Amino acid sequence: MSSALPEVKLRRIGEHDFELMERWMRLPDVHAFMDFEQPPSGYDLKVELLAGHVDVLIITSPDETPVGFFFLYTRGLKGTNVRELDLAVPDVERRRQNIAKAAIVAFERWAFEEQELTGVWANIFPDNQACLALLRSCAWPLSETDVGGINFRGAPCDVVYTKMTPELLIEARARRGF
């Protein structure tokens, strides 16, 4: 099954994006699925960015309209070419247009070809079925649910892990139909 994905672009967060990010984080479930106890303010996001704990990529449509974002965390990974990943496409209509799948493909190019990362990984809450389905459709390997696994705050919770590397990406591209 080969279907064309919509075109998306990735760019690093800019000063004009913080208000939008703050609004997105207030949408139902967005901040919770990204493991924030409450929606962070634009100021909090700036502090995290300036501290070097997170890098934010804005996902845009071809006309530069922001449609989602990637958080790339460095905590515990400083000095490595590995990042922890979170993805959000807050608008449900955009999700139905396969924007998140197109963003994953664009991210893979950015991460492994442009940035030469050696790996990205994520932990996903098992009730986030949309994210798990997205990663399965992109042929990212998923673990079984780790009951009482550890999230990034060190709190025990159930999680599903995924990790992508340049080597695993070769296999994934061979298995998926896009």
Q: What is the pTM of this model?
A: 0.84
163 membership: H or E segment, kind and range: strand 156-164
CATH superfamily of 9-175: Gcn5-related N-acetyltransferase (GNAT) (3.40.630.30)
Q: String of b and e for 118-127 (b: at least 16 CB within 10 Å)?
A: ebbbbbbbee
Domains of the chain by residue range: 9-175
pLDDT at 1: 41
pLDDT at 95: 84
pLDDT at 37: 75
pLDDT at 5: 92
| Cβ neighbours of residue 35 closer than 8 Å, sequence gap 6 or more | 86, 151, 152, 153
Token pair 């100021």: residue: 43
Cβ 160 vs Cβ 150: under 8 Å: no
Cβ 107 vs Cβ 70: under 8 Å: yes
10-residue mean pLDDT series, the chain (178 residues) = 81 88 80 73 77 85 92 77 90 88 96 95 89 94 87 75 95 89
